[in-house]
Amino acid sequence: MVRTAEGRVEREDYILLTEFFHDPATNYLIYQGPGVDRILAAVPGSIALGYQLVAAKRTLFNCQMLRWLDYPVPPVMQHYDWPHGSHIEKPLAHQMVMANFMVLHPRSFNFTDMGGMKTLSACWAAEWLMKQYPAGECKALIVAPLSALQATWGDTIFANFAGRRTFEILHGKADKRLKLLEKYADFYVINPKGLITDVQVLRGKTKHKNRIVIDGFAAALRDRKDIKIVICDEATYLKDYSTLQSKVFEQILNDRPYVCLMTGTPIAGGPKDAYGLAKVINNAGGESFRSFFARTYIEVSERKFKPRKGAIEEAKRLLTPSIAFPIEKIWDGPPLTVQRREVALSAEQTQLLRDLKRDLQVTVKGGSVITPMNAAAVRAKAIQISLGAIYDADHIAHEVDVGPRLKVVEELIEETNRKILIFAPLTCVVNLLYDRLNKHWRFAKVIGATPKKAREEAFRKFQNTDDLDGIIADPGTMAHSINLYAGDMVIWYGPTEKPELYLQGNKRVHRPGQKFPVTVVQMVATAIERGIYKTLEGNVSMQDVLLDWIRRDVL
């Protein structure tokens, strides 16, 4: 770096003009252009060089401050060595951009599509941040779905940071998790439900005056000041800000310097989902949920609301700073086709649905009478009848003849030579399918009660062996963060009413690594099921509008 006779600072290969450049010899960022006074006022230790020139020491804080002032700065991690296993040739450009974004924005969102390689990018960012602190003074907490603890995060850290960084998976009973937390590790990985053990809710006069007291494991986690980085994978569980999980999470976060929420489905349930996510990152701008909801939704009939015009813009305003890459820019994969299969009802199903509509109650085999208490319960019982099992008041499942629907499932299995993922929204229906299909094929099942090791073994066999023909699962237990591209078909035996589970479930198979066209099959027999899929597709369209806006800032 030299000053010429004209007073301009030059290097041999360029003349500094209107953006920051990094001079490795001095480790200074140098800028020439308008706004020098703003930089001098905001950036500690910045130096005026004259002729609209300014220099600032290249530190993480200074880079963050300059980025906040909307000045383009060279990638903070440009000298990072990007550790990776032999299975990766080199980091992809979008992965490096995501990692730099997380480092530059201490509280941020990553809404990159499912399969967009967010996991390794977040690990790189976390490891780079660890290096900015004295050894052992910066650790990372990763909160992820149960199915992803080892299969996604544990495997990623081991494959890319072995011998360099360590991790502990905090799973099991509270006392076991406490012992694991006491072990030295760079990354601690836990599922959301693990956060709410040893938590008491002291009831107040109203719900809003309830007080949450955390003790034991949760308190130990809260008090770990060396955990400075928190990464929330598939952060959809934070969308409802009023849940115990969200409130405990806020307490555990305290003043952690770095928090990143990651999900490919930020507002799958509508713009209201943005509030809970933003509450964690930026306190939703200090606005109450009631105020936000009133501004973004309009009542169209009693207790039925729809988003107002401009609601998506309001959601985007809350969800900043954020980054999102569409899967099409990352991966040139085979097509995904969605098809709908109309299935017939059995005579028993037809009669039960007729009785339910006429009498608002049904009598099942064995004489049990099931009487739904309200309209929502009637609708739920109609769906259960369509899927082949109906719950009574004691939550005992009564099977219903569902022969025509099962026949279509068997036909679909015969149509493909590769593996199949079948989603059913009820545990009793998953069990029914598991028992019937395993008479001719080899299926594993994953439900809420499936142990962690059994889940991981099912995923391993599906992905790496010929020991399974498929997996039958409740979508809530494995729709997130799992690679199952050894299959080429996703069957929705029955619809889920949660848009993020529908989107995420489809992406378990259609993701980087997939070489074959993927088919998603929606099985429907009633108008209620058709209506659910219509609602799902409407929410997907709204979310696409939001993500398109965010992507414009990146691409």
* pTM as predicted: 0.77
Residue 257 contacts residue 278 (beta carbons within 8 Å) = no
Task: Check residue 204 and give its pLDDT.
Answer: 61
How far the first Cα of the chain sits from its last, in Å, is 32
Cα–Cα dist 555/551, whole Å: 6
Task: Check residue 208 and give its pLDDT.
Answer: 58
* Pairing status of strand 21-23 against strand 28-32: antiparallel
Task: Check residue 206 and give its pLDDT.
Answer: 57
Task: Check residue 490 and give its pLDDT.
Answer: 97
Task: Check residue 16 and give its pLDDT.
Answer: 36
Task: Check residue 188 and give its pLDDT.
Answer: 97
Nearest CA to 428 out of 455, 397, 466 is that of 397
Nearest CA to 194 out of 166, 224, 217, 228 is that of 217
For 59, the token pair is 């530190």
Residue pointed to by tokens 């936000």: 292
For 240, the token pair is 């409802």
Domains of the chain: 20-69 (no CATH), 93-332 (3.40.50.10810), 336-524 (3.40.50.300)
Task: Check residue 207 and give its pLDDT.
Answer: 58
Measured CA to CA in angstroms, residue 131 lies from 103, 135, 139, 165 at distances of 12, 7, 10, 11
Torsion of CA 391, 397, 401, 404, to 10 degrees: 80
* Pairing status of strand 397-399 against strand 389-391: antiparallel
Residue 250 contacts residue 294 (beta carbons within 8 Å) = no
Task: Check residue 9 and give its pLDDT.
Answer: 39
Residues of the chain with pLDDT under 50: 1-17
What digits encode the pLDDT tens for the residues 246-266? Answer: 888 888 887 899 999 999 889
For 77, the token pair is 């991690």
Measured CA to CA in angstroms, residue 307 lies from 216, 238, 315, 520, 532 at distances of 42, 20, 11, 28, 18
DSSP-derived secondary structure for 117-160: -HHHHHHHHHHHHHTTSSTTS-EEEEE--GGGIIIIIIHHHHHH
Classified as helix, coil or strand, 377 is: helix
